[in-house]
């Protein structure tokens, strides 16, 4: 039985108390943890033809909820010219090669200079990683974007799709996609998709669920939400009730504290990882983990909080990992790059 960790202290506004709370949290959650078990369904490629595993309550004794714990963290890739890696997305090709894509640029972190999507490959999550040419850029001859943010890559048919957000905030801009047969060469798709920013798609029981983040104006104030759309394929989306709503209103200057939703199935239910940050140093690497037996609805009650920004969960050799990265000036390490954290469940 692990000791109870002081997660509530993570929400303190005092940076000194928060620093020591994080140290204590890492110590008590990392103590005597077993290796993570094998996944019940692959989480690195929620493909359109492949459904996520259905919840199996009997396998975990009831709801099946388990709490993930962060073990060691390693910085595994630093792009050329020390560009930073923000909101990375990963996928493993059929030949076993890992591919990572992210928005990024030189400097400490600035959304308006993230004008390309970075790309690198590796034989294993821990590397060694090799830089590849950027896949999309606002300097491309056919470019229509003003900035490229928060990519999400997935299998689609015999090839792949990558979704990303065009953040120029102009009419007609928004969520877009590109297609590839080999993960190296990409062609922009026409049109756009509904919802907000930071896309992720979960395939479950013949339905694709598109998760994005935004704010919704209500009587009292704006509230952070995770938008949810569904479709049997990647067209004809139906808007559902938000998958997650923050009951606390977002301040008038808030552009949305929920970021980078990532959902995957594990025996007994679904886990939603989402960064919940006001973009200050104190909260930038605050990732909530929420549990539900229904992938269309999560209560704003995290079962734990992990130190990561823009995280995804991936499996390799029977072990779960959280991949993440963000603006160097906001990271505790102050170092740019792709980070990999081993998880125990």
Q: Are 259 and 198 in contact (CB under 8 A)?
A: yes
Phi, psi of 23 (to 5 degrees): -60, -45
The pair phi, psi for residue 276, each rounded to 5°, is -125, 100
Tell me the residue length of the chain.
345
Contact between 58 and 64 under an 8 Å Cβ cutoff? The reply is no
- pLDDT < 50: residue spans in the chain: 1-62
The secondary structure element, H or E, covering residue 288 is strand 286-292
Q: Which of 239, 228, 268 is nearest to 52 (CA)?
A: 268
Asked if residue 69 lies in contact with residue 28, where contact means CB atoms within 8 angstroms, the answer is no
How confident is the model at residue 47, as a pLDDT? Answer: 29
pTM: 0.82
- Position 172 scores a pLDDT of 54
Specify the pLDDT at position 171: 56
Contacts of 255 (CB under 8 A, 6+ apart): 215
Enumerate residues 6+ apart whose C-beta is below 8 A from 7. Answer: 25, 304, 305
Tally helices (H) and strands (E) across the chain: 1, 21
pLDDT at residue number 63: 57
Assigned token pair, 92: 């493993």
């Amino acid at each position: 039985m692990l000791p109870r960790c002081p997660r509530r202290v993570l929400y303190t506004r005092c940076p000194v108390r928060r620093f020591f709370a994080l140290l204590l949290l890492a110590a008590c959650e990392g103590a005597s943890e077993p290796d993570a078990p094998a996944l019940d369904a692959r989480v690195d490629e929620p493909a359109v033809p492949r459904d996520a595993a259905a919840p199996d309550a009997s396998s975990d004794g009831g709801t099946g909820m388990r709490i993930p714990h962060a073990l060691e963290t390693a910085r595994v890739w630093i792009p050329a010219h020390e560009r930073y890696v923000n909101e990375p997305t990963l996928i493993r090709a059929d030949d076993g090669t890992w591919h990572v894509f992210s928005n990024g640029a030189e400097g400490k972190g600035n959304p308006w200079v993230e004008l390309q999507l970075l790309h690198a490959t590796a034989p294993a999550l821990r590397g060694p990683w090799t830089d590849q040419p950027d896949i999309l850029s606002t300097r491309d001859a056919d470019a229509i974007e003003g900035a490229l943010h928060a990519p999400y890559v997935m299998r689609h048919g015999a090839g792949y799709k990558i979704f990303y957000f065009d953040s120029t905030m102009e009419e007609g801009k928004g969520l877009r996609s590109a297609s590839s047969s080999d993960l190296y060469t990409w062609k922009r798709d026409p049109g756009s998709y509904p919802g907000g920013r930071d896309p992720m798609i979960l395939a479950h029981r013949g339905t694709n669920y598109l998760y994005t983040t935004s704010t919704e104006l209500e009587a009292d104030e704006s509230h952070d939400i995770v938008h949810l759309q569904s479709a049997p394929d990647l067209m004809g989306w139906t808007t559902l009730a938000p998958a997650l709503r923050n009951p606390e209103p977002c301040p008038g200057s808030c552009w949305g504290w929920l970021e980078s939703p990532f959902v995957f199935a594990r025996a007994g239910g679904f886990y939603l990882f989402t960064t919940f940050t006001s973009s200050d140093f104190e909260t930038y690497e605050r990732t909530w983990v929420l549990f539900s037996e229904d992938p269309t609805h999560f209560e704003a009650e995290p079962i734990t909080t992990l130190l990561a920004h823009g995280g995804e969960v991936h499996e390799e050799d029977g072990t779960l990992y959280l991949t993440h990265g963000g603006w160097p000036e906001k990271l505790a390490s102050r170092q740019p790059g792709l980070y990999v954290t081993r998880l125990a469940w």
